[in-house]
A and B are shown apart, each in its own frame.
Chain A
């Protein structure tokens, strides 16, 4: 898979009200980039702009890919809420994209992905019967089913308890390998564990921070990961 990189240059406003100052944001091809920042600085708006669903926001600038081809049809988004449709089974939710495009769903691939995320036994259940971790894993399978080279993550693990969160993080890192990932989070621990590149968005713009050494996902008790997490938290607390 040749996942393209993304380059966003410019400033963002909502209803002529400036939200994000002039920035230059790069999500390198095939890498996991983390976008950290406090609530309300416009992290999610950036993901919505890249998704092409940000009707409310205006980008004054450019949004380009490293291979020059358009973004449309190459982006998948996984949000904090799992967005599973309650009236469909888990398997039907995973195959929702095909249904929405009027295409024939690939049931074999859906079964494989459900197996990958450990939900084979739950394929025919309704989402309401699943736990939070299981639901988010179903959402991961649905995201992977779309098979898009660019995956945007909008705090997808924030509603999970610590143990489940670490498990789903590992699984996500493993299954999204090779894709261009841009993850929005306000959790420094998550950024330190999963990122190849860490960016902090504040009201005054974007700054890059070094990621800890070693390939993600890094161990939860790795000393350098923990110290990077501490440094990021200190910086977030200090504010701009």
Chain B
């Protein structure tokens, strides 16, 4: 309850600072609209914003699910095979030197103007953090557990399944928490480069027509969505994966 109170208080301080800035500087509303105007637009354009939010949410959730799956499989394959580590890991790290955002136009070319290219963009943004967090955890299995399992006659595959993976799930969870924060960024970048739907598209459209209030309304919805997504992933991790530590 105290935490909720402090969140509300902090939001009120931010709103007051925002309003004060407008009153003090007298900026026109198409440069920086006040909180009241943004709230009003949020209400009057709710159907429009909701429509685009659903699109972005689908892209984010699909990208998150695919990226987590692909990242999880990659981490296990790398942890299981020294050969895979030698061949794939340098490539994986080098790929991080390429800004994922620079790939957005080519993804639009390959996967089209619709949801597909945004899902792939989201996947690419979260793939590395998920893989890397899970892989590190898989490589940190206490040696004493592995020794015990070997003495009990376990094969490397069963050690992976019954010891290393369960022991590394809290690490996977920290990757997923990061992914929940990064995933919306991927979808929005994808929408900026080429789309006819989604919150990123709506923001670009609104600012292009000097409808700054609508742009801010969409931005706030995006931020709230990201916070809720992170909270949901965090909760789900606590209830499941974290219990293994």
Contact = CB atoms under 8 A, between A and B. Distances in A.
Chain A CB within 10 Å, residue with most, of B145, B150, B151, B154: B151
Contacts of A53: 147, 150-151
Given A52-B151, A76-B151, A77-B151, A83 B158 contact: no
B235 interface: no
Interface in B153-195: 153-154, 158-159, 162-163, 166-167, 169
A73 B150 CA distance: 10
Given A83-B144, A85-B145, A86-B244, A100 B152 contact: yes
Interface residues of B, number: 20
Contacts of A160: none
A53 B29 CA distance: 73
Interface residues of A, number: 21
Contact of A97 (B147, B153, B163): B153
Given A53-B147, A76-B151, A100 B244 contact: no
A81 B162 CA distance: 19
B151 A75 contact: yes
B154 A81 contact: no
A51 interface: yes
B89 interface: no
A51 B146 CA distance: 13
Nearest to B152: A97
A225 to B, nearest CB: 32
Contacts of B66: none
Contacts of B153: 73, 97, 100-101
Contacts of B166: 85, 87
Contacts of B144: 79, 81, 83
A101 B147 CA distance: 14
Contact of B152 (A48, A81, A101): A101
B48 to A, nearest CB: 47
Nearest to A72: B153
A87 B158 contact: no
A170 interface: no
B145 A100 contact: no
Contacts of A73: 153
A109 interface: no
Interface string A61-88: 0000000000001011101010101110
B245 A86 contact: yes
A99 interface: yes
A146 B166 CA distance: 22
A52 to B, nearest CB: 7
Contact of B154 (A79, A86, A87, A101): A101
12 contacts: A51-B151, A52-B150, A52-B151, A77-B148, A79-B144, A79-B148, A81-B144, A83-B145, A85-B167, A97-B153, A101-B152, A102-B158
**Leading 6 A-B pairs by shortest Cβ distance:** A100-B154, A87-B244, A97-B152, A53-B147, A100-B152, A101-B153
Given A85-B145, A86-B244, A101-B152, 14 more contacts: A48-B147, A76-B151, A83-B148, A87-B166, A87-B169, A96-B149, A96-B162, A97-B153, A100-B153, A100-B154, A100-B163, A101-B153, A101-B154, A101-B158
Interface of A: 48, 51-53, 73, 75-77, 79, 81, 83, 85-87, 96-97, 99-102, 146
